[in-house]
Amino acid sequence: MNKKEVIVALDFPDRQTTLDFLDCFPDGEKPFVKIGMELYYSEGASMVREIRRRGHPIFLDLKLHDIPNTVRRTMSVLSRLDVDMVNLHASGGSAMMRAALEGLTRPDGSRPLLIAVTQLTSTDARTLKEELLIDAPMDYTVLWYAENAARCGLDGVVCSPLEAAAVKRRCGGTFLTVTPGIRFADGDTGDQKRVMTPEKAAQAGCDCIVVGRPVTQAKNPVEAYRRCVREFLNG
């Protein structure tokens, strides 16, 4: 994987819609894509294999969170899919994260990158305190979870672009920050509340940006993707 990547979120309900979107791109252009729960639960592992065969690098965004043994065994299954990045919830704890790494590592020692979700960006301060009963402030919690993931040997975290710089300071420059919530300066924010442009995200220390609707819903998705890459790489 290159250090800086624009990852397109394939938030589509089925195979045909997904392939129609990917077919917009010319043969030699293969964006890094994210397959999330919607598409995976709809079409399964065969969809992952098909997209891989087409030559796209893949972030499989299934956000595992279960007992260590189950996560180890599931990661072992996922390691047989030829994907580049998978993830889990850091709130599953260090035993779960270490088990995930074990399961993900193939017999030859290779493995996809493993990154952790710290706190979902949909979780606000009130939910953290009143529902999850976490008294520490949000930024402290995010950094603590990131540090825990780094200590367990994970490769990075999913976080808000607003948190990327602090994560880098705490966990080191090589610890990856993968950040959704990206919008063009002249675009709709949709339901994302804390957003950043690709250019600002680059300046904030984001290694990979995850972009969904600004590309998938654009009149010209290929142009929108190229604009995003340009702004991110030149940022």
- Closest to ligand C5P by CB, 22 or 72: 22
Q: Check if 129 is active-site.
A: no
Q: Does 156 bind ligand C5P (CB under 6 A)?
A: no
* Selected range binding ligand C5P among 20-28, 100-108, 198-206, 211-219, rule: CB under 6 A: 211-219
C-alpha 120/C-alpha 143 separation (Å) is: 13
Binds ligand C5P by CB under 6 A, chosen from 60, 100, 104, 211:
211
32-61: contacts with ligand C5P (CB under 6 A) = 36
Query: Which of 73/193 has CB closer to ligand C5P?
Result: 193
Question: Is residue 121 near ligand C5P by the rule CB under 6 A?
Answer: yes
- Helix, strand or coil for residue 96? helix
- Report if residue 9 touches ligand C5P, rule: CB under 6 A: yes
Whether 77 contacts 86, CB under 8 Å: no
Part of the chain binding ligand C5P (CB under 6 A), chosen from 40-48, 67-75, 209-217, 225-233: 209-217
Q: Which of residues 163-182 bind ligand C5P (CB under 6 A)?
A: 180-181
- CA dist 32 and 84 (Å) reads 9
Q: What stretch of H or E contains 60?
A: strand 58-64
CB-CB contact of 114 with 101 (8 Å): yes
CA distance 29 to 49: 18
Contact 146, 160 (CB under 8 A): no
Binding of ligand C5P by 212 (CB under 6 A)? yes
The answer to whether the beta carbons of residues 34 and 7 sit under 8 Å apart is yes
| 185 lines the binding site for ligand C5P (CB under 6 A) | no
- Of 55 and 190, which CB lies nearer to ligand C5P in the complex structure? 190
What are the residues whose beta carbons fall under 8 Å from the beta carbon of 57, sequence distance 6 or more? 1, 5, 30, 32, 33, 84
Report, in Å, the least distance between residue 106 CB and ligand C5P: 26
Does residue number 155 form part of the binding site for ligand C5P (CB under 6 A)? no
Do 71 and 116 touch, CB atoms closer than 8 A?
A: no
Question: For residue 128, what are its two tokens?
Answer: 């953290």
Among residues 4, 63, 129, 200, which one is catalytic? 63
Q: How many CB atoms lie within 10 A of CB 107?
A: 6
Nearest CB to ligand C5P, comparing residues 111 and 213:
213
18 counts as binding ligand C5P under rule CB under 6 A = no
Give yes or no for residue 213 binding ligand C5P (CB under 6 A).
yes
Max distance between CA atoms of the chain, in angstroms, equals 51
- Which residues contribute to the site for ligand C5P (CB under 6 A)? 9, 11, 36, 120-121, 158, 180-181, 190, 192, 210-214
* Active site amino acids: 63
